Structure 1
Amino acid sequence: IARLGAGPESVVALCLPRGADLVTAIVGTLTAGAAYLPVDPALPEERRRLLLEDSGADLVVTDGTGPALPGPRAVTVGELTALPGGAFAPVPVGPDALAYVIYTSGSTGRPKGVEITRGSASLLLRELEDEGAARGEGRRVGWNASPSFDASVQQWVRLSRGDTLVMMDEETRRDPALLAAFIDAQNLTDLDITPSHAEPLLDLLTPDGGPRPLTLLVGGEAIGPALWDRLADAHRAGVLRAVNVYGPTECTVDATAGWIEEPGEPHIGAVLPGLRMRLLDARMAPVGPGEAGELYLAGPRIARGYRRSPHLTAQRFVADPFGAPGDRMYRTGDRCRLLPDGRLVHLGRLDGQVKLRGHRIEVQEIEATLSRAGATEAAVVLGEDAGGTPCLIAYHRGGDATALRHAVAGALPSYMTPSAFVAVDRFATTPSGKLDRSALPARIEAASPVEAPEQGAGLNGRAEELIGRVWAQVLGAASIGPDDNFFKLGGHSLLAIKLVSRVRAELAVALPVKAVYAHPRLRDLAAHIEELTAAKDG
C-alpha cells in the first residue's frame, strides 16, 4: 500500500467483506501511515460510488469480484500480495494523524464521513480496559459488525492487545441458534450485540443456566426494561456479563458504559474518561440537578469533524464555553438526565434521527431519495409492524409505491429501506405550516385477519399454505401470493428470524435463516422446505 503512494493523511478505501483480507488491509493501511475508509461490498453500487467520490479516496482495495467503480486507482488483494516483499518500517505518525473515515446517515440527504484520529482510537481501547469491558489476557472477540460501522473498530482494535479476533459469516451473525452454538464452540469471551438481537440470543444461551466467560457489549439502540432485567438476572446467575454502551460515531464508538447488574430503570452508565459531559438547555446553559437536557461531549476522543464538510462540522462541533480556549464539544442531539450517582438515562432524540436494529438513520436522507424518485412529498417515521416489531414506514404523496421501494433499495443500504409504503392524499401540518409527523400512524395494521380467504389465494400444497399463513402473521400483510418476495413485502433480518422460528416449531424442520435470503419468493421457500422435510423423513 505504501509503495502505491499511500501515506499520512491519504485515505485508502477498503471494499472488502469481513474477513482475514480486510484485517490485513486495515493493518497494512495503518502501518503505511494512511487512514482507511470501509466500503461494504454489499452496499448498492450508487452508495459505493458516492462514498468514494465524497471521501476523495486516493486508492481502492477490492477482492476483484465486484464491478469496477470509477474514481481512484483500484488494486486487488491478489495484486498487493504479488508485489515484491521486503522489510518495511512503519511510517511514524502522531496521535493527531487520521486513522479512519466512517460514513453515517446524513440529515442533508447525503451521508457524511466522520474523521477519527489514531490517538482517539488508542484512547478507546485503554478506556475499555479500565472499565473492565476488555479485561484479562487471551480474550476471544467475535467480529460480527459490518466494517462500515464503528462497532467494528472496537472489535479489530483488540488485536493490538494480543486478543484473538474470531470471524463469523453472515449466516451465523443473523441466526440466533447458529450464533449461540458458535459462542460456545469458539469459546467467545466478548461479543458486540444490539438489543434487538440480544433478546432471541438470550433465549438460547440461558436455559441451562450454565456460566460462560462471555461479556456482551450491548449498544446501537435503547434497551427496554424487560431486556434490561433479563440481562441483570443472567449476570446475577453467573451466566454472562453485559455492559450497556452508548456513543455516537463522532465520539469514537463508545462515550459511556454501564454494567447491567441490577433490575430497574435502564441507564447508559457514566461517561468514559476520554470525554467530558455537558447537559445543556436550548440556551446552552447547564440544566439543574435531575433535569433533562441535550448531551454535549467534549475531550480528546471527539472527531476532527466531517470529511470535506466544514459547514456541517461547524454545526455539530461547537466551541466549549466551559473549557479552555479552543476546546470544542460535539452536540449529540440526544436528550438525557443525570442520576445522583453520575450515571445517565437516555430519554430519546431531539431531531429526526432514529435508531433501528443498531443502525443510525437520518430519515431526511430516505425522504430525499423518495423525492428524487417521484414522490411530491414524503415523510418517514419509526413505527411498528402488526407484530410489534420496530420498522420504518414511508408515507408519500405522489409516486408509485413499487417504484419508490426500488429506488430506495437501489440507492441506500438495506436497513434504510422502509418496511411499508403508504400513499396519502395530504399531510397534516403544524400551526407553523410544517409537516406534522406526530399525526402519522406509527403502526402498520394488517388489513384483514390471516384466516381470510384471500390469504391463500393461488397457494398450492401444505408448505405454501403454511408459509403464506406465517408470512401474513409475521409481516402483517393482507394478501400473500406464491410469487411474493419476503423482503419486498417489508421483511428484514429480525422478521426472518421470527419466520424461521415458527417454521421450525410447526414443521420440526431445521430451516436456517440463510434459506430465507436464498429463497425470498414464497413458492421457492416452500419448495425448499419440502425438500428438507423429505430428507428428514428419509
Structure 2
Amino acid sequence: MTDLVQNPVDLVARFCRAVRQDPDRIAVRGTDGELSFAELDQHSAVLAGALTARGVGVGDLVGVSLKRGVRLVVSLLAVWRAGAGYVPLDPQYPSERLEFMAGDAGIRILLAEPARQSASTGVEVLDPATAAGERVEVPVAGPLDTAYVIYTSGSTGRPKGVQVGRGAVADLVAALETAGVYAPAPRVVGWNASVSFDASVQQWVRVCRGDTVVVLDEDQRTDPVQLRGVLDAHRVQDLDLTPSHWELLRGCLLERGQDRPVPRLFMGGEPVPERTWHEIAQATADGLIEAVNLYGPTECTVDAVTAWITGDGPHIGHPLPGTRAYVLADDLRPLVAAGEEGELYLAGPGLARGYVNRSALTAERFVADPFAADGERMYRTGDRVRRRDDGTLDFLGRVDRQVKVRGYRIELVEVEAAVASHALVTTAVVTDCRDPALGSQLVAYHLGDESLTADELRAHCAAVLPEFMVPSVFVAVDAVPLTVNGKVDWAALPAPDVAPADAEIVEPCSVVEKLIAEVWANVLGRDRISADDNFFALGGHSLVALRVIGRIKRELGVTLRTKEVYQHPELRELAAFVEARLTPASDIS
C-alpha cells in the first residue's frame, strides 16, 4: 500500500497544487461556460470568502441547490475551501422533503439562484454568481471534519443523512489511483450523476487532482445524440453511469470513430446484469471501451470494491487498497471458504462518520470491528455475498427490504409510509418486481376507501417523494396476506397488472396519437395503448421517457424535454402538445 493511501492529501490542498502546476488548463466546462484552473481557483476562493464572512467555518454545513453547470463546481469547492461540508438539495425534490433535509442538517446558508427560496425559516439564500468576499486562506480542516452529507432513503419513513469526512473522500481518490481505476495523467471526465447521488462525489472531485470536468446537463446526459456530440467535442475519456443508463446510451458509446479516445466507463449504483456484462466485456476485447464495475454503499464513501468488466459473468471484484472486506455469518463468524454465503461488512478509512442526528442507527450499522485494533469500526452493508476461488466477491442480494431502482437506493418502508399517509389509506405494503421492458418497478398494495384511485395515490406520493421513489403500480387489495408467523406473505400478493384485460380502450385517432401509442406499446411492453392512458401509470419512468423522446425526434422532428413528458403524461395530452410544435412543413402522413 502506498503512503498516499495511508496518508491521503486533503483534496483542497491537491486542487491548489493542480492550480500551481497547470493554471491555464481547463478545469471545468458546462453549458454555462468554462473556467481554467486559475479561474476556478479565483472564483471558488471569492465565494469561500463570502461564506466565511457570514460565519461559515469548520464543522458547518452549507446547502447547495443549483442547476448542473460550472457554477455548481465552483460552489462545492468553495464550501470546502471555507472548511465546511455541503448538503445537496435537489430543486426537483418535493418541497416538504427539502424542508426536512435542511432542518435536519441544521443549514443556515443555502447556495442557490435568486429565484430559489428556502422553505425553512432562518436560512439565508446566497447567489454564488453575485456573492462577493475577500479571498481567504484555506482553514485547517481535519480528516474527520465533514465533507458532505448526502440523504438516502430511510427505514423510518424519513430520509437519513450520511455524514462523510474529508479524509474519507481523500482516501477514495487515492485508493482509486493506486488501484489503477483513475489514470495517472490528467483526463477529461464527464460528470453525469445527480449531485444528490453519492456517485457524483467521485466525478466532480476529479478536478482536485488536475482532471478536466465536463458537466453534462440533463439533456446531454440522457439524449444519446447530444451525449455523443459532447463526448466528441470535448474528447471526454471517463464517464460514470448506471447499468440502466447504459441500456439507453449503449448505441452511442459503442460507436467507432476516427481519433476518438477509448472511453473508460465507471459502472455503479446497481448490479450489472449478466447480458450487459458480456456485452461490455466483448466491447472491451474489441477495443471499443474500457469498463470497471464499482460497488460501495454511501456509508463507505461511494466505492469500496472494484472489478474490471472482462471475462466470465458479473462480480464485484476485490476491495480497494485500504478497505477490509469481511464475509460474516449471523454470529459474525468469518466465512473464508470459496462458495460460502454471508453478509458483507466493510472497514477502513472510507467509512462515513455516521448518520446525522441518528446516534442509535449509527451504532446499529457501524459496529466494532473484532478483527482490528480497539476503536475501529466496520459497516454492516446488508448485502449478501460469496467468495469465488480467486477471492473475488459475488453480489447475491439483500438481507433486508432495501432495493435498488435505476441506481437509487430505496428503503421500502419509507415508500410504504408515504402511501399510508393518505387519509383514505389504512394499510400499505410495497415491494419491487422486475418488468422485462422497464426494469425494476415499485408496486404498492393498499387497503382503504374503495373510491381512492391510483392516479390520486400517485399524485399524493409525488408530492412527498422524489420521482424515483414513487411506485409505478398501485394495487387495491381487500387484505394483506400473512404467513403463519404473522408476517406479510409476499408470494401471496396478487401479481401487478398495469393494463387489465377488461380495461376500456379509447382508440388513438390522429396520426400523432397513433405514433405515440405505437412508441409507448414498444417501450412499455404493452399490446395495446389507450388514448387516455397515463405514461407513468403504465410503469414509465424518466429513462424510458427518453426513448419516447428520441423516437418522436426521429419521426416528427420535434424535440421534447423529459419534464414536458411529465407535464403531459396522458397520451392524448402529449399528442396535442407535440402537434402544436409541428412546423407546417412537417410530414406526418
TM-score range, shorter chain: over 0.9
- 2:473 is equivalent to residue 420 of structure 1: yes
- 2:100 is equivalent to residue 47 of structure 1: no
Shift, 1:66, TM fit: 2.8
Shift, 1:478, TM fit: 8.6
* Structure 2 residue aligned with 1:153: 201
Cα separation, 2, equivalents of 1:364 and 1:200: 30
* Structure 1 residue aligned with 2:463: 410
Match of 2:67 among 17, 41, 64: 17
* Structure 2 residue aligned with 1:214: 263
**1:215-245: CA deviations, max 9, x gaps?**
1000101111110001101111111100000
Larger CA deviation: 462-471 vs 371-380: 462-471
Q: 1:472 to 1:88 in 2, by over 3 A?
A: same
* Structure 1 residue aligned with 2:82: 32
The one-letter amino acid of 2:109's match is L
Cα separation, 1, equivalents of 2:119 and 2:199: 26
Cα separation, 1, equivalents of 2:365 and 2:352: 11
Q: 1:384 to 1:503 in 2, by over 3 A?
A: farther
Shift, 1:518, TM fit: 5.7
Structure 1 segments (4+ residues) deviating >6 Å: none
* Structure 1 residue aligned with 2:277: 228
Unaligned runs of 5+ in 2: 1-50
Unaligned runs of 5+ in 1: none
* Structure 2 residue aligned with 1:347: 396
**TM-score scaled to structure 1, two decimals?**
0.92
Maintained 8 Å contact 2:499/2:538: no
**1:244-302: CA deviations, max 9, x gaps?**
0000000000011100122x220111011131111111111112412010000011110
Shift, 1:533, TM fit: 7.0
Maintained 8 Å contact 1:191/1:215: yes
What value does the CA root-mean-square deviation take over the aligned residues?
2.4
Larger CA deviation: 176-185 vs 11-20: 176-185
Cα separation, 2, equivalents of 1:75 and 1:529: 37
**1:481-518: CA deviations, max 9, x gaps?**
5455423543211221333455567x364655545346
- 2:178 is equivalent to residue 125 of structure 1: no
* Structure 2 residue aligned with 1:304: 353
Maintained 8 Å contact 1:456/1:465: no
Q: 1:31 to 1:51 in 2, by over 3 A?
A: same
Match of 1:176 among 224, 227, 237: 224
Cα separation, 1, equivalents of 2:150 and 2:436: 34
Maintained 8 Å contact 1:386/1:445: no
* Structure 1 residue aligned with 2:240: 192
Cα separation, 1, equivalents of 2:542 and 2:309: 26
**1:421-451: CA deviations, max 9, x gaps?**
01111111122101122333565463239xx
Cα separation, 2, equivalents of 1:442 and 1:181: 43
Q: 1:346 to 1:441 in 2, by over 3 A?
A: farther
SS of match in other structure, 2:505: helix
Maintained 8 Å contact 2:64/2:87: yes
- 2:56 is equivalent to residue 6 of structure 1: yes
Match of 2:482 among 429, 438, 441: 429
Cα separation, 2, equivalents of 1:125 and 1:373: 44
Q: 1:498 to 1:446 in 2, by over 3 A?
A: farther
The one-letter amino acid of 2:137's match is A
Q: 1:461 to 1:510 in 2, by over 3 A?
A: closer
Shift, 1:416, TM fit: 0.2
Larger CA deviation: 428-437 vs 477-486: 477-486
- 2:369 is equivalent to residue 323 of structure 1: no
* Structure 2 residue aligned with 1:289: 337
Cα separation, 1, equivalents of 2:196 and 2:182: 22
Shift, 1:202, TM fit: 1.8
Shift, 1:127, TM fit: 1.1
Q: What is the percent sequence identity of the aligned residues?
A: 46
SS of match in other structure, 2:475: strand
Shift, 1:390, TM fit: 2.1
Q: 1:58 to 1:95 in 2, by over 3 A?
A: same
Maintained 8 Å contact 2:402/2:411: yes
**TM-score scaled to structure 2, two decimals?**
0.85
SS of match in other structure, 1:346: strand
SS of match in other structure, 2:271: coil
